Chain A
Amino acid sequence: MTTGNGNGSERFTGHGAEWTDAKLSKEDAHVATVWVDQIINRRSMLTNKDRVEDVRDVMWQLEKDGEIVVHRVQDEHEAVMVKTLYGWDKKIPTTQLWHHKSCGQCGNIPGYPASLLWLMNQMDIRYLDETDQTSCTAWNYHGSGIGNLESLAAVFLRNFHQAYVSAKAQGLPEGYYYPLVHCGTSFGNYKEVRGYLLQSAKLRERVRKILGKLGRLVDGKLLIPEEVVHYSEWLHVMRNEIKKHQVIDCDHIRATVHPACHVYKMVPEDAIYDDDILEGNRVAVTTGLLETLGTQVIDYSTWYDCCGFGFRHIISEREFTRSFAIDRKIRVAIEEARADMMIGHDTGCITTLDKNQWIGAAAGKPVDLPILADCQFAALVCGAHPYKIVQSHWHASSTETLMEKLGIDWEKKKAEFEEYLKEVEAGRGETLYDPRKMITSGPGFKPQGQLSKGT
């Protein structure tokens, strides 16, 4: 049937001849559909499942049966316990951490990991950043389909085994360092793969042969981590400690959070929730940190949407990526939440939201919203140098606007950094840790003996 739209023209509803318009006022229409909002975007959307299993129960049984070895979060890792989606406990280690870097962060947003390590230095956290690691390979997998469950599982177990043995290069015992995963894609992928490894004897057997060839078994068995931990979870449990180092007030800053899909939608039962953080309806990480630092975190209607990254899309289907990023995230944050910034906790999201704003002006839809990762913002308000540490020059969005609102003289800091580049070219650059630690075996390795505590 056709119906008028009030402007004298007609339009087709496609609902059939029996359909008639209820002609509700805007207010009545809101009342009629508000129940949808009460269900959608709420934690209950994720918890209404019949089949829920904590794979860690399977893990402990397999270890008991002599099938696997579990890399435990020990007392020495000074873990903090948190609650996940169903109220289960998760241990978050806070020190002796092995940084599992993100290729997208290190390649494109290097201030992301640098800010995290800088924060750890402020709090005297022991860690290792080394060269014996690959990316998780899951960006390529989700983008292309090149790869498979076995390759993802073998890469996961290889990298985590290296984390387990890495301290030997410093004369320290196996298991000393616990892996801390920087990338959200890696975090989701590793948790998913761990689940399949625990459930499938066939997969374990196939991968055991490969890890055996690599010399990456422990007592002939696969090494499985007790917890897969994302850096945003470390920030979350350390937020009150971080607050103690804060030197810049940010109470007046309106923040929007973009939570990463692979952080809380993949293996959702492992994501951290807290009833005191946005009523427990939103994953707690990042929002909890920003609230602790004093910002006003504003909820918005497309909070649940992805960023538009799409893995392959950001490279070869860019119209989708930029349209989605601008229309569903950036514009909503600006117009609906009147945000001063959007903060995320994953590689692809930060890249997508940061880089895809300039093109809006070409389409006559200019947008302007500073984009940073949670650890970059935390470092900034704790006094980190905006260019030397936060490396804000790699961000295309207007981080300068945010710095002005925070009272940071970015032009002065930028000039300092440009001057510092001369020191770098002369081979006098500063580093966050002793570079001798970064090679733990193979070509280039020089035994250092037991290095002292700290970075």
Chain B
Amino acid sequence: MSHSATTRVQEHIGDPVSDTPPVGREKLEEIFQDIQADLRFDHELNGCLNCGICTATCPAAHYYDFSPREIVQLLWTENLEGIYDAMQEKIWSCAQCYTCAARCPFDNSPGGLVMLMRETAIKHGMESAKSVLRPFSRVMLKLISTGNQLSPDMITPDGFADWGPNVSKIDAPLATLRKAIPMPTLHTTKTAWEVNLKTSVELYTIWEETGVLDSLEIIDENLFDVISDIMDEKRDDYEDWLDEQDQD
């Protein structure tokens, strides 16, 4: 049986007995500054006495090597190596329930801080972010291209075998079942509701103007290409419609 030559800590942080860690101080500072630069940072972090209420109440702490208290402490003490290490895996455990934030006597939001760290992990193209988000790409494709995150055709017995045979208890074509919903906006299978073409085009402007597409390109270039094509197509359709209005 073979064993990996390096441990996770050695791979991401460096050999603890070596004088030259692979991640330089400059890079660690850059990452921390990006987290700190978000205008939410001071709102989400106010101090910490290590009381541990956040971890005691955290659902992710039941199942993962994850502690919101540790996240707060790392940021509060500006432990740059520890912050970088937590961004390799731990921050992706958080279930984003914000129980920690509701209960913290200091009004910290460990869940909110995790989001700043996730955004920064993506900005820096960390491998952790790329691998964690790979199975989530279908949701990202749906959301960015249509404005809906979940659609009826995504919920299939094959895709969710662990949900059992009762994903739909009536044996009929999906399109028929959708038309049997008494809300006309919901007679769709590829999106959760019918989204106006004009609405989608407005959303694309938001993605572009706020740098969301740049983040996507960093994390998954192929997905970015697919979404860009869809966006171009829909924009062309909308332009055609506008031209038709002018002619009328």
Which A residues are in CB contact (< 8 Å) with B164? 355, 357-359, 396
Query: Given known contacts A154-B209, A443-B241, is B185 in contact with A118 (CB within 8 Å)?
Result: no
B193 lies within 8 A of A266 (CB): no
Of the candidates B57, B121, B132, B196, which one forms a contact with A444 in the assembled complex, judged by CB atoms under 8 Å apart?
B196
Most A CB contacts (10 A, CB to CB) among B62, B148, B179, B183 go to B183
Which B residues are in CB contact (< 8 Å) with A132? 196, 198-199
B143 lies within 8 A of A137 (CB): yes
A316 lies within 8 A of B135 (CB): yes
Interface residues of A in 133-150 (CB under 8 A from B): 133-135, 137, 139-150
B96 lies within 8 A of A101 (CB): no
Residue of A whose beta carbon sits closest to that of B209: A210
B152 lies within 8 A of A320 (CB): no
Which A residues are in CB contact (< 8 Å) with B122? 144-146
Nearest Cβ on chain B to A216's Cβ, whole angstroms: 8
Interface residues of B in 191-248 (CB under 8 A from A): 191-200, 202-203, 205-207, 209-212, 215-216, 219, 238, 241
B4-12, B17-25, B75-83, B155-163: which lies at the interface: B155-163
A146 lies within 8 A of B97 (CB): no
Query: Given known contacts A140-B149, A310-B95, is B103 in contact with A396 (CB within 8 Å)?
Result: no
Which A residues are in CB contact (< 8 Å) with B219? 146
Of the candidates A139, A140, A418, A438, which one forms a contact with B184 in the assembled complex, judged by CB atoms under 8 Å apart?
A438
Which B residues are in CB contact (< 8 Å) with A150? 209-211
Say what secondary structure dominates the interface of chain A: helix
Which B residues are in CB contact (< 8 Å) with A214? 202, 205-206
> B168 near A: Cβ within 8 Å?
yes
Nearest Cβ on chain B to A104's Cβ, whole angstroms: 5
A213 lies within 8 A of B63 (CB): no
Whole-angstrom CA separation of A414 from B168 in the bound complex: 13
B62 lies within 8 A of A324 (CB): yes
Query: Given known contacts A50-B107, A134-B195, is B59 in contact with A431 (CB within 8 Å)?
Result: no
Residue of A whose beta carbon sits closest to that of B175: A425
A442 lies within 8 A of B197 (CB): yes
Nearest Cβ on chain A to B225's Cβ, whole angstroms: 16
A151-176 vs B, Cβ < 8 Å mask (1 yes, 0 no): 10011001000100000000000000
> A49 near B: Cβ within 8 Å?
yes
Query: Given known contacts A104-B192, A148-B212, A268-B102, is B59 in contact with A135 (CB within 8 Å)?
Result: no
B139 lies within 8 A of A143 (CB): yes
Which B residues are in CB contact (< 8 Å) with A244? none
Residue of B whose beta carbon sits closest to that of A260: B97
B194 lies within 8 A of A103 (CB): no
Which A residues are in CB contact (< 8 Å) with B148? 103, 106-107, 134-135
Whole-angstrom CA separation of A424 from B172 in the bound complex: 12
Which A residues are in CB contact (< 8 Å) with B144? 146
B139 lies within 8 A of A304 (CB): no
Which A residues are in CB contact (< 8 Å) with B203? 134, 155, 158
Which A residues are in CB contact (< 8 Å) with B165? 358
A4-12, A234-242, A385-393: which lies at the interface: A385-393
Which A residues are in CB contact (< 8 Å) with B96? 142-143, 310-311
> B86 near A: Cβ within 8 Å?
no
Query: Given known contacts A46-B102, A110-B181, A358-B162, is B211 in contact with A133 (CB within 8 Å)?
Result: no
Nearest Cβ on chain B to A105's Cβ, whole angstroms: 8
Which A residues are in CB contact (< 8 Å) with B155? 107-108
A355 lies within 8 A of B185 (CB): no
Nearest Cβ on chain A to B185's Cβ, whole angstroms: 5
A107 lies within 8 A of B150 (CB): yes
Whole-angstrom CA separation of A304 from B212 in the bound complex: 34
Which B residues are in CB contact (< 8 Å) with A140? 139-140, 143, 149
Whole-angstrom CA separation of A148 from B219 in the bound complex: 15
B98 lies within 8 A of A359 (CB): no
Nearest Cβ on chain B to A219's Cβ, whole angstroms: 20
> B154 near A: Cβ within 8 Å?
yes
Which B residues are in CB contact (< 8 Å) with A145? 115, 118-119, 121-122, 129, 133
Which B residues are in CB contact (< 8 Å) with A442? 196-199, 241
Which A residues are in CB contact (< 8 Å) with B211? 148, 150-151
> B3 near A: Cβ within 8 Å?
no
Interface residues of A in 98-136 (CB under 8 A from B): 101-108, 110-111, 113-114, 117-118, 129-135
B212 lies within 8 A of A147 (CB): yes
Which A residues are in CB contact (< 8 Å) with B197? 442-443
Residue of B whose beta carbon sits closest to that of A444: B196
A13-21, A75-83, A195-203, A291-299: which lies at the interface: A195-203
Residue of A whose beta carbon sits closest to that of B219: A146
B215 lies within 8 A of A308 (CB): no
Whole-angstrom CA separation of A266 from B43 in the bound complex: 14
Which A residues are in CB contact (< 8 Å) with B16? none
Query: Given known contacts A107-B150, A358-B164, is B193 in contact with A101 (CB within 8 Å)?
Result: yes
Which B residues are in CB contact (< 8 Å) with A439? 196
- What are 24 contact pairs spanning A and B, CB under 8 A? A103-B148, A107-B152, A110-B183, A134-B199, A134-B200, A140-B140, A143-B136, A144-B140, A146-B219, A147-B212, A199-B43, A210-B210, A306-B99, A313-B95, A320-B64, A324-B59, A324-B63, A355-B167, A359-B164, A388-B182, A421-B180, A429-B179, A429-B182, A442-B198
Can you list the 3 inter-chain pairs with the closest CB atoms, starting with the nearest?
A358-B164, A145-B118, A442-B198
Residue positions of B touching A, CB distance < 8 A: 38-40, 43, 46, 57, 59-60, 62-64, 92, 95-99, 101-103, 105, 107, 115, 118-119, 121-122, 129, 132-133, 135-136, 139-140, 143-144, 147-152, 154-155, 160, 162-170, 172, 176-186, 191-200, 202-203, 205-207, 209-212, 215-216, 219, 238, 241
Residue positions of A touching B, CB distance < 8 A: 45-46, 48-51, 101-108, 110-111, 113-114, 117-118, 129-135, 137, 139-151, 154-155, 158, 162, 188, 196, 199-200, 202-203, 209-210, 213-214, 216, 261-262, 264-266, 268, 304-306, 308-313, 315-316, 318, 320, 322-324, 328, 355-359, 362, 387-389, 391-396, 414, 417-418, 420-421, 424-425, 429-433, 435, 438-439, 441-444
Known: A45-B103, A394-B167. 15 other contacts (CB 8 A): A104-B150, A107-B154, A113-B186, A133-B199, A134-B199, A144-B118, A146-B216, A154-B206, A154-B210, A261-B98, A306-B59, A310-B60, A312-B132, A315-B136, A425-B176
